[in-house]
Structure 1
Amino acid sequence: MTETPAADDHMGFVGVTTGSSSIMTVFPLWADILGLPTRTLVGHDLPMDAAPAQYRAMVEQIRDDPHHRGALVTTHKMNVFAAASDLFDELDPFAVSCSEISSISKRGGRLIGRAKDPITVDLALNDFLPAGHFAATGSEVVILGAGGSGTALSWALSEREDTPRRIVVTALGQAELDHLREVHRQHGTPEGLIEYVLTATPEDADAVVAAAAPGSLVANATGLGKDRPGSPLTDAVRFPAGGYAWEFNYRGSLEFLHQAEARAAADALQVVDGWRYFIHGWSQVIADVFELDLTPEVVERLAAAAESVR
């Protein structure tokens, strides 16, 4: 049932270049399908090097504005947690363990922070990866990037019944790997399942990808190719034969995606972009903000509406 809109009610979108996201066109279509009380989505753009005070001011603005229903956070998820987690009345276990906030919602005057990525990344993964793939093939996963998305994917993979034989997570800095290792320790991830590899150069990352078993999944969770140009790999990379290359982004310069497409025939590679991740990410947070239950059928209706403006 459609709620009666309140004057100036809106939802927020915290990112870097929110105006260029497809969600700005998609959100009003989804609002009609879901019967939301607003069709207005407001962008909160912050630079990649935003100061903690900027994150706190943004969270306080959302908290204190009665017409602001909540927000999705992208790119800045870990920084929002680091700078402003004390402003929230409640944080879910994923948010605390992964030190990130991707969904900001309100319940009875309380400000709630949740990390939805471990759920949404698994939904997106299941959209393209055959059931039982890892058990059937003995293949592995290489996650390029140990930030919020890489953390979420490694978390989700460790909880699957169909667990990869090995998960390798790479990062440019040791601090990111140490943080991720601690997240997994607190989570109770089986010892030895995940390897943490420092890749100081794209050539180092190439070597990790090339060493993965046939059929393995390689995911670009670095953020490169979206808000910042570039790829964690070089153009000389060779992917695991018969594997999957998953670009978490769906917009931007998408260098990783283009590298994978260039190798698709030679490496018998299936290349997947971030569109379904985008669909699941947004639909899950909208459901959180507006207290909705989404069935798979409703999600497919939302996906079809979004496809019309892709």
Structure 2
Amino acid sequence: MTGARMGFVGVDTAGSSIMRVFPLWADELGLDSRELTGFDLPTDATDGAYRDVVTRIRDDAGQAGALVTTHKMRVFEAAGDLFDDFDSFADACREVSSISKENGRLLGHAKDPITVGLALESIIADDYFSTTGASVVCLGSGGSGTALSWYLAHRADRPSKVVITARRQESLDHTREIHERGGIDTTMFDYRLLGDDPAAEADAIVAAAGDGALIVNATGMGKDRPGSPLTDDVDFPHRSVVWEFNYRGSLEFLHQAAGAEFARQLTVVDGWEYFIHGWTQVIAEVFHIPMDAERVRRLAAIASAVR
């Protein structure tokens, strides 16, 4: 379906680097259309708004499919019945990050457990957790945080402990349900509900994580809304890997880590690799084209040139 357009369901799609990158990628991949259609929805969009977007993508013969960012879980929740089938990850995680079409059927996919894994593998060694004994703190239990936890549970080199935080009990319960539904041993997870002073409580969790810990901002703060899940007084563990899932926005969490990078010997990483793998995996699904490592490297180089 190389002649059809690709869609992008997000909050502020016009501000994403992909709007500059996609036409160049389309040329590299030999796609007939260089157009990327943005579908903007607020974070508090109604069920009807989600159903309208999915229906428009489904019924437009010129639309090959779409990538979904912030709204992954809500698309599944509000418009799941509009899809003909889901892949196993989408079914288990109750989210849709990729919409594609095949033989007249609308398909939903959850690519995040794959793409977050590919991104993390570019950051740490294959034996990182076994050689360091490091733990993980995942700040946020939404779609991206849950995807990371899913990947870590299936990783050959698994951390001994993963703390997942949330501000709502329902969010933690949902993540635990996904783990149980997927047959994951939940004893490796500490599902932590934050109370009346969430940032200060998150600071304490991060400080107690131990040397070399992987500290992740999966909250959306710093992109979809300003702020950080931590205070400016946070004490990052020595030699920890601090990963901001976002690559654009106010990025307060990233700046907090950068400020302590030298003193605490941190490895500070933004969400650019996650962005690259997220988009290339969905493009492969939408247009039914192979996406091997060499092709991803070429696309990454093109994207970096216009970042």
Q: TM-score, normalised by structure 2?
A: 0.98
3-state SS of paired residue (2:289):
coil
Corresponding letter in the other structure for 2:302: A
Partner of 1:167: 162
Q: Return 5+ residue gaps in structure 1 as ranges.
A: none
3-state SS of paired residue (2:134):
coil
- Residue 37 of structure 1: how far off its partner (Å): 2.5
Q: Percent identity?
A: 59
Equivalent runs, 1:114-263 vs 2, <5 Å: 114-200=109-195, 201-263=198-260
Corresponding letter in the other structure for 1:235: D
2:303 counterpart (291, 301, 306): 306
Name segments (4+ residues, structure 1) moved above 4 Å: none
- Establish whether residue 49 from structure 1 lines up as the match of residue 44 from structure 2: yes
Corresponding letter in the other structure for 1:241: H
Moved more, 57-66 or 191-200: 191-200
Deviations 1:20-66 (A, max 9, x none): 00000000110011111311001000011100000001000000000
Partner of 1:283: 280
Corresponding letter in the other structure for 1:213: G
- Residue 130 of structure 1: how far off its partner (Å): 1.5
3-state SS of paired residue (1:265):
helix
Deviations 1:233-253 (A, max 9, x none): 000001121110000000000
In angstroms, what is the RMSD of aligned CA positions?
A: 1.0
Deviations 1:103-135 (A, max 9, x none): 000001000000000000000000011220000
Deviations 1:228-275 (A, max 9, x none): 101000000011211100000000000000000011112111000000
Does the CA-based 8 Å contact 2:179-2:186 persist in structure 1? no
Deviations 1:84-108 (A, max 9, x none): 0010001011111111000000001
Partner of 2:28: 33
Deviations 1:262-290 (A, max 9, x none): 11112111000000000000000000000
Q: TM-score, normalised by structure 1?
A: 0.97
Q: Return 5+ residue gaps in structure 2 as ranges.
A: none
Partner of 1:71: 66
3-state SS of paired residue (1:281):
helix
Deviations 1:156-198 (A, max 9, x none): 0000010001000000111100111111111111241011001
Distance 1:88 1:233 in 2: 38
Partner of 2:55: 60
Does the CA-based 8 Å contact 2:242-2:257 persist in structure 1? yes
- Establish whether residue 94 from structure 1 lines up as the match of residue 89 from structure 2: yes
Distance 1:251 1:191 in 2: 33
3-state SS of paired residue (1:234):
coil
Distance 1:193 1:127 in 2: 23
Distance 2:136 2:189 in 1: 9
Does the CA-based 8 Å contact 2:12-2:40 persist in structure 1? yes
Distance 1:232 1:86 in 2: 34
Number of residue pairs matched by the alignment? 305
Does the CA-based 8 Å contact 2:176-2:186 persist in structure 1? no
Corresponding letter in the other structure for 2:86: L
Corresponding letter in the other structure for 2:106: L
